[in-house]
Structure 1
Amino acid sequence: MCIAVLDSGGILKAFARMDDAWLGSVDVAIKKAKTACFFGMTSGQIGELSQPGGPLYGIEHSNDGLISFPGGIPVVDEDGVLIGAVGVSGSTVENDHQVAKAAVESIGVTDLPEHPWRT
């Protein structure tokens, strides 16, 4: 696993790479966190919205590359203000999402932020 933590400005504040984690997962973890931070929703939600015919189709090509599959989660404070994001890569996307969710919950955030794109 590779785990990236960004502040609200999308700046990398912490990063960890487990021994023998794929080198390609370094960039993917950072971009998953960046995706969640830039748009205030999970990278998986971006993926749902960016399918062909979707309202955000092609968005993964913006901002020097985004990741549109699970593993990136925004972090919001108790007032709903975005304070950063966590991105995880190195396993299945389901496991990546669960690890990112556990990281966010470990700092006391239990609900993902609401967003106008959510249905």
Structure 2
Amino acid sequence: MSNTDQKLRKLAKRHAEISSNITSTSKEIKDEIELCDGGEYIKPESESGTDFGFLFDGTSALPPYATCLNYTYETFKDFNSNPYDGYEYDELLQMYGCEHCQKARQLKKDVGKLKQERGRIHSAMTQIGKTL
């Protein structure tokens, strides 16, 4: 087996491993988001006495956002509407998100890194293919 064949096999194997990791991690993200307890976590009044009543839609005792991620995104837009103020999305998620949404965010970052690595491998395979 030639050196080029060995390189291609190694790259193809790693590409398959990464694709498998992306698939399983994406499922884990979905599972974490389904476990979001944002409705329980963000209560109309916090333990410190801060009133979060503005987050809740009148009659129901549920927040108007499906998950902490949705709430954090809307808060991010509101806080950053002034160009002189602002928070990072991850800062707001740490402040307002439940542990499941925070874990889902970290897993999403991990998937992004895996996709970058898979892209580099794909590019390397393409370059080897051009030389054949």
Question: Shorter-chain-normalised TM-score: which range?
Answer: under 0.3
Structure number with the bigger relative contact order (C-alpha 8 A, sep ≥ 6) is 2
Q: Which has the larger radius of gyration?
A: 2
The structure richer in strand per residue is: 1
Which protein is richer in helix relative to its size?
A: 2
TM (norm. structure 1) is 0.25
Compute the TM-score of the two structures, normalised by the length of structure 2.
0.23
